[in-house]
Amino acid sequence: MTIFYEKAMEDDILGPFFIDEIGDDIKSEDWVEHIELLADFWLAKILGEDTYYGNFVGAHVKMPHIKKESFARWLELFSQTADEVYIGSVAEQFKKKGVQFSKQFLNRTKNI
Ligand code: HEM
């Protein structure tokens, strides 16, 4: 998770969204909380654990300026990170879910 967010924060397209909402210090309390929340999210989605019941699409509604291209970039960085961190079959599982979730977002975002 941390590797992904380090890339995202340095990215021209994604960086500003995260910096505006969570700040520019990845070691801050807000960031640690965000990364833990996302780790719980992925545990729930990949392993079916009881760790996340939030509304993750809803959490992005307050950022209507996230556009189709931003999701394409998100997916690119996410897939790159999955390949770096995990062996083949596990990386594939993350990438498949990443594609699924990005599509869900795109379907629900009106202004694209
Ligand atoms: C351009 C793409 C994206 C951007 C810029 C983005 C940005 C953000 C930001 C800034 C937050 C924090 C909101 C807050 O704390 O108030 C957040 C929360 C979150 N994001 Fe994203 N996100 C993107 C795509 C995705 C995708 C594709 C997924 C799912 C695979 C995802 C999953 C989540 C989850 C689970 C949370 C936590 C929601 C909660 O509070 O329960 N995000 N995102």
Question: What's the whole-number mean pLDDT along residues 72-88?
Answer: 96
Residue 86 Cβ contacting ligand 1 at under 6 Å: no
Do residues 5 and 26 make contact, with C-beta atoms less than 8 angstroms apart? yes
Asked if 99 contacts 91 with a C-beta cutoff of 8 angstroms, the reply is: no
User: In this predicted model, what pLDDT tens digit does every residue of 88-102 receive, in sequence order?
Assistant: 999 999 999 999 999
Is the CB of residue 46 below 6 angstroms from any atom belonging to ligand 1? no
Instruction: Determine the structural domain holding residue 103 and report its residue range.
Output: 2-108
Determine whether the shortest distance from the Cβ of 101 to ligand 1 is under 6 A: yes
Q: How confident is the model at residue 77 (pLDDT cuts 50, 70, 90)?
A: very high
Q: In angstroms, what is the span from residue 61 Cα to ligand 1's centroid?
A: 10
Atom of ligand 1 nearest to the CA of 45: 30
Average pLDDT of span 10-17 = 96
Is 66 near ligand 1, meaning CB less than 6 Å away? Answer: yes
| The pLDDT of residue 110 | 53
d(CA 3, CA 30): 17
**Across 2-18, average pLDDT:** 96
Q: What is the per-residue pLDDT for 69?
A: 87
Q: Which CATH number characterizes residue 21's domain? A: 1.10.490.10
Total-model pTM: 0.93
Cβ–Cβ under 8 Å, residues 13 and 70 = yes
Task: Domain count for the chain, please give it.
Answer: 1
pLDDT at 112 (0 to 100): 44
Question: What distances in angstroms separate CA 79 from CA 38, 70, 100, one per listed residue?
Answer: 16, 14, 12
